[in-house]
Amino acid sequence: MTEDRLILVLNAGSSSIKAAVFDAAFKMTLRAEASGIGAQGDVKVAGTRNRADLPDHQKALDLLLQGLARNGLALDQLRGVGHRVVHGGTMLTKPTRISPETRAKIADCIPLAPLHNPHNLAAIDAISRLAPDLPQTASFDTAFHTTNPEVAQRYAIPATAETQGLRRYGFHGTSYAALVRALPALSGAPLPQRLLALHLGNGASLCAIRDGQSVATTMGYSPVSGLTMGTRSGDIDAAAVLRLAETLGAAHAHRFLHHESGLLGLSGLSSDMRSLEEAETEDSRFAMAHFCYWAARHSGSMIAAMGGLDAIAFTGGIGENAERIREGILDHLSWAGAVPVWIVPAEEEAQIARDTVQVLGD
């Protein structure tokens, strides 16, 4: 393999940028991360860590790329750069090469993901300035779920100009796409026809995968819906949300539901499942029980959407590592009968690298 076959994958969040380099066999060869963007932060490259002023994403990406260069990787050695983009709306439904038209469509989706798409675009624009001829691609979290039937995507509200864009999109799409690719190799058998997939981490969702395609998922218009999560509330009555907006104000209500709820809000202790398992307080046990109950309850909905169940697959940090939580969910699902249960390592970044190579025609 020559160095110019390497793929750089970038995942730009609100306060961090994660980078990973993959070779032609999609093996990660280098990892880097800048965190604490907007203030004094950390830049970690290949195991080393340095404090740095990170006023914005441009500065953070510059320092990441400098760190990669010091470890033998320059932009002119890359085949391409693949970006995780959270929202593609209804127009961007598959991995796509970045062009002025694609960039404009990603920008059009900013109202749907105001906390994510602007930062995804910042990374795309930074690479364009530094290496204008380097091919870039985007993989969209929402794309995997565009196969959901319209009846699953529509909210029961009038279709007006004011409600355009208010529909269930779903997220964690690159994780589910990676799971669909990886499970047959892991199991040594064809992909189960009706697969319940659980992506469980600080953000958590379920996906009903029938014949390799998403037919239902728990996240909706935003990533706050569905399961109990680390700091997100999961499903909550719309009238309760309106009440929170009236009493707290819209901005505080948003922060309350996205950053102060979920496991953190229930336990009063932490959003980290490992900390809750170690704490063994009454509130931490209740938070874990709540997580398992609602994961199982939503699983029933996913099973109904598929018309049955042939296998279950766990992925994500909690899904892969928290045996107690997996067992709690499976205990609630014992009524569904005995089916194979798999633990599939999350490979979202490798999936984006594969998407990049496919889009670029390798």
* Equal CATH topology for 3-140 and 188-348: yes
Kindly tell me if the per-residue pLDDT of 75 is higher than 80.
yes
Q: List the structure tokens of 170.
A: 């779903």
Kindly tell me if the per-residue pLDDT of 50 is higher than 60.
yes
pLDDT in tens, 102-124: 999 999 999 999 989 999 999 99
Buried/exposed code over 195-220 (b: 16+ C-beta within 10 A; e: otherwise) = bbbbbbbbbbbbbbbbebebbbbbbb
Kindly tell me if the per-residue pLDDT of 361 is higher than 50.
yes
Confidence of residue 298 (pLDDT cuts 50, 70, 90): very high
Task: Report the alpha-carbon distance of residue 238 to residue 240 in Å, rounded.
Answer: 5
Compute, in degrees rounded to 10, the torsion defined by CA atoms 82, 88, 93, 99: -50
DSSP state of 154: B
Determine the Cα angle at 234 with ends 232 and 238, to 5°. Answer: 110
pLDDT at 4: 56
Other CB atoms within a 10 A radius of the CB of residue 275 amount to 13
Determine the Cα angle at 139 with ends 137 and 144, to 5°. Answer: 150
CATH topology (fold) of 3-140? Nucleotidyltransferase; domain 5 (3.30.420)
pLDDT at 362: 63
Query: Distances from the Cα of 89 to the Cαs of 152, 169, 207, 305, in angstroms?
Result: 15, 7, 18, 22
Backbone φ/ψ region at 153: left (φ over 0), alpha (ψ -120 to 50), beta: alpha
3-state secondary structure of 97: strand
Buried/exposed code over 282-306 (b: 16+ C-beta within 10 A; e: otherwise) = eebeebbebbbebbbebbeebbebb
Catalytic residues: 141
Kindly tell me if the per-residue pLDDT of 1 is higher than 90.
no
pLDDT at 2: 45
Strands (E), the chain: 6-12, 16-22, 28-35, 39-45, 48-54, 78-85, 96-97, 136-140, 194-200, 204-210, 213-217, 311-315, 341-343
pLDDT in tens, 207-249: 999 999 999 999 999 999 999 999 999 999 999 999 999 999 9
Q: List the structure tokens of 221.
A: 């218009």
The ranges assigned to domains in the chain are 3-140, 188-348
Q: Are 178 and 347 in contact (CB under 8 A)?
A: yes
Confidence of residue 6 (pLDDT cuts 50, 70, 90): very high
CATH number of the 188-348 domain: 3.30.420.40
Task: Report the alpha-carbon distance of residue 273 to residue 202 in Å, rounded.
Answer: 8
pLDDT at 5: 84
pLDDT at 13: 85
